């Protein structure tokens, strides 16, 4: 992963904190990492955490004045990156990308790139099992994305079922393979 360019997309799943560990591990492997966060993700973990881990600005808005590094992040990062990994991915972001809805920095970046996209869902098991979520995941698998299915286990909501974020080693192996 040395000198590879990876963008981590972080969404508003309770598993957002695990994206910090993923980011740190990718940096330790020599990758240059940028993070793009949805607004809901920023309510669970702060951009300052990712800025400290990456040494790079964190994109949270489409056209943030303070982001002088990437004035049009969905264009500049789409060209710069070697892979986009959305970890964790909510049902919301999966649906947006599947249907071409680009209303924030992350969804716009995802539909602006021709680079590989890894999607690692994390949500309540009942959400994951919903027919529409499964259909949207299948659309993305057929089109452009590498879905890493969630694991079965204890979930933050107190349920047990399939919805836990996949093991970070599994995600890292997939990213490495795509690079």
Active site residue 157: yes
Which of 60, 144, 145, 157 is catalytic? The answer is: 157
Q: In 17-143, where do the E strands start and end?
A: 32-37, 58-59, 83-89, 117-121
DSSP track, 69-85: S-SSHHHHHHHH-SEEE
Angle 120-33-80 (CA atoms, 0-180°, nearest 5)? 100
Alpha carbon distances (Å) from 143 to 2, 11, 63, 83: 28, 21, 28, 16
Pairing of strands 160-164, 151-154: antiparallel
Q: Which residue has the tokens 């869902």?
A: 121
Q: Active-site residues: which are they?
A: 157
């Amino acid at each position: 992963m040395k000198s590879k360019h990876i963008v981590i997309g972080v969404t508003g799943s309770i598993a957002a904190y695990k994206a910090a560990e993923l980011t740190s591990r990718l940096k330790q492997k020599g990758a240059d990492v940028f993070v793009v966060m949805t607004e809901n993700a920023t309510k669970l973990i702060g951009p300052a955490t990712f800025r400290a881990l990456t040494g790079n600005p964190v994109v949270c808005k489409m056209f943030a004045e303070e982001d002088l590094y990437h004035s049009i992040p969905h264009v500049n990062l789409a060209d710069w990156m070697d892979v986009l990994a959305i970890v964790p991915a909510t049902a919301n972001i999966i649906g947006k990308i599947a249907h071409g809805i680009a209303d924030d920095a992350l969804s716009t970046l995802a539909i602006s790139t021709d680079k590989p996209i890894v999607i690692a869902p994390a949500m309540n098991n009942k959400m994951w099992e919903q027919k529409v979520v499964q259909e949207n995941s299948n659309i993305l698998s057929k089109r452009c994305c590498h879905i890493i299915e969630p694991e079965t286990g204890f979930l933050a909501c107190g349920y047990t079922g399939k919805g836990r974020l996949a093991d970070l080693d599994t995600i890292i192996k997939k990213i490495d393979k795509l690079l």
